[in-house]
Amino acid sequence: MKTLSLTEAANFLKMHAEEVRRRAKSGHLPGAKLGKRWVFILDDLVEHIRSQYSIPRQALRVVSEKEVSICHSTSAVIRGGSRSPHQQGSVLDALLAQPTKPKRKNTMTS
């Protein structure tokens, strides 16, 4: 098991040493401060780098229009379409509208 100093870890990660120190201090990089010095295990840094790899995505498959229109599910239910933003806004306005009370007539006479 090989250990690296802060500068060696920075060179390995191709980062500035201060940035490596900040990330290790915040827990974003695996490392430990032993006394006054930071120590990094090479295998842990390699594992950390590998965990940053993006997830491989499935390639897109080209399908014909015939395949798109056919639904293969036996329990498929078609529901209503979406509402326009104008309709949704008016429904929301109606729900949020506060009921108003009729104004009281002035009972005092001048």
CATH number of the domain bearing residue 43? 1.10.10
Asked if residue 89 is part of any domain, the answer here is no
Asked if residue 95 is part of any domain, the answer here is no
| Residue whose tokens read 């379409």 | 81
Domain ranges, residue 29: 3-51
pLDDT surpasses 90 at 19: yes
Contact partners, residue 23, CB within 8 Å, separation at least 6: 29
Residue 43: pLDDT band (50, 70, 90) is: very high
Question: Once rounded to an integer, what is the mean pLDDT over residues 6-34?
Answer: 95
Asked if residue 8 is part of any domain, the answer here is yes
| pLDDT for res 93 | 74
Asked if residue 32 is part of any domain, the answer here is yes
Q: Mean pLDDT, the chain, as a whole number?
A: 79
Provide the whole-model pTM: 0.49
| Residue whose tokens read 């965990």 | 51
| pLDDT for res 64 | 65
Asked if residue 47 is part of any domain, the answer here is yes
Asked if residue 99 is part of any domain, the answer here is no
What's the total number of domains in the chain?
1
Asked if residue 30 is part of any domain, the answer here is yes
Spatial contact of 3 and 42, defined as CB atoms under 8 Å apart? yes
| pLDDT for res 59 | 67
